[in-house]
Amino acid sequence: MSVYTASATAPVNIATLKYWGKRDKTLNLPTNSSISVTLDQQDLRTLTSAATSADFQKDNLWLNGKEEGIKGERTIACIKDLKRLRKELEDADSSLPKFSEWGVHIVSENNFPTAAGLASSAAGFAALVLAIAKLYKLPQLMSEISKIARKGSGSACRSLFGGYVAWEMGEAQDGLDSKAVEVAPVDHWPLMKAAILVVSDDKKDTPLTTGMQSTVATSDLFQYRIKEVVPKRFEEMKKAIQERDFEVFGDLTMKDSNSFHAVCLDSVPPIFYLNDTSKKIIKLIHKLNEQEGKIIAAYTFDAGPNAVIYYEEHNENKVLGLIHKYFHQVPGWDKVAHKKANFKDSDIEFDTEAYKGVSRIILTKIGPGPQDTNQALVNEQGLPK
The verdict on 10 binding ligand ATP (CB under 6 A) reads no
- The stretch among 13-21, 90-98, 276-284, 362-370 that binds ligand DP6 (CB under 6 A) is 13-21
The verdict on 43 binding ligand ATP (CB under 6 A) reads no
Using CB under 6 A as the criterion, what x/- string covers residues 133-172 for binding ligand DP6? --------------------xxx-----------------
> Cα(278)–Cα(302) distance, rounded to whole angstroms?
11
Residue 195 near residue 319, CB atoms below 8 Å: yes
197, amino acid identity:
L
Q: Nearest approach, Cβ of 358 to ligand DP6 (angstroms)?
A: 19
Q: Rounded to 10 degrees, what is the CA torsion of 289, 291, 292, 298?
A: -10
Q: Nearest approach, Cβ of 20 to ligand DP6 (angstroms)?
A: 6
Total Cβ atoms within 10 A of residue 274? 21
Q: Smaller CB distance to ligand DP6: residue 119 or 322?
A: 119
Task: Tell which one of 142, 237, 303, 377 touches ligand ATP (CB under 6 A).
Answer: 303
The verdict on 154 binding ligand ATP (CB under 6 A) reads no
Sheet holding 34-38: strands in order across?
13-17, 34-38, 164-168, 179-184
Q: Nearest approach, Cβ of 116 to ligand ATP (angstroms)?
A: 6
Angle subtended at Cα 282 by Cα 281 and Cα 283, rounded to the nearest 5 degrees: 90
> Cα(176)–Cα(159) distance, rounded to whole angstroms?
18
Residue 380 near residue 320, CB atoms below 8 Å: no
The verdict on 15 binding ligand DP6 (CB under 6 A) reads yes
**Direct distance between the N- and C-terminal alpha carbons of the chain, in angstroms, rounded to an integer:** 18
* From ligand DP6, ligand ATP, none, interface partner of 163 (C-beta below 5 to 8 A by class): none
Task: Tell which one of 201, 251, 302, 316 touches ligand DP6 (CB under 6 A).
Answer: 302
Using CB under 6 A as the criterion, what x/- string covers residues 86-125 for binding ligand DP6? -----------------------------------x----
Task: Tell which one of 198, 274, 303, 358 touches ligand DP6 (CB under 6 A).
Answer: 303
> Cα(233)–Cα(238) distance, rounded to whole angstroms?
8
> Cα(307)–Cα(10) distance, rounded to whole angstroms?
22
Burial level of 58, CB count in 10 A (0-12/13-18/19+)?
exposed
* From ligand DP6, ligand ATP, none, interface partner of 346 (C-beta below 5 to 8 A by class): none
Q: Nearest approach, Cβ of 94 to ligand DP6 (angstroms)?
A: 38
Site for ligand ATP in 121-150 (CB under 6 A): 121, 124, 128
DSSP 8-state symbol, 177:
T
Q: Nearest approach, Cβ of 68 to ligand ATP (angstroms)?
A: 7
- The stretch among 50-58, 113-121, 253-261, 357-365 that binds ligand ATP (CB under 6 A) is 113-121
Task: Tell which one of 28, 46, 259, 278 touches ligand DP6 (CB under 6 A).
Answer: 28
> Cα(159)–Cα(36) distance, rounded to whole angstroms?
9
* From ligand DP6, ligand ATP, none, interface partner of 18 (C-beta below 5 to 8 A by class): ligand DP6
Angle subtended at Cα 70 by Cα 69 and Cα 75, rounded to the nearest 5 degrees: 145
The verdict on 215 binding ligand DP6 (CB under 6 A) reads no
Q: Helix, strand or coil for residue 13?
A: strand
Contacts of 226 (CB under 8 A, 6+ apart): 21, 31, 32
* Contact residues: ligand ATP, CB under 6 A: 46, 63, 108, 110, 114-121, 124, 128, 208, 302-304
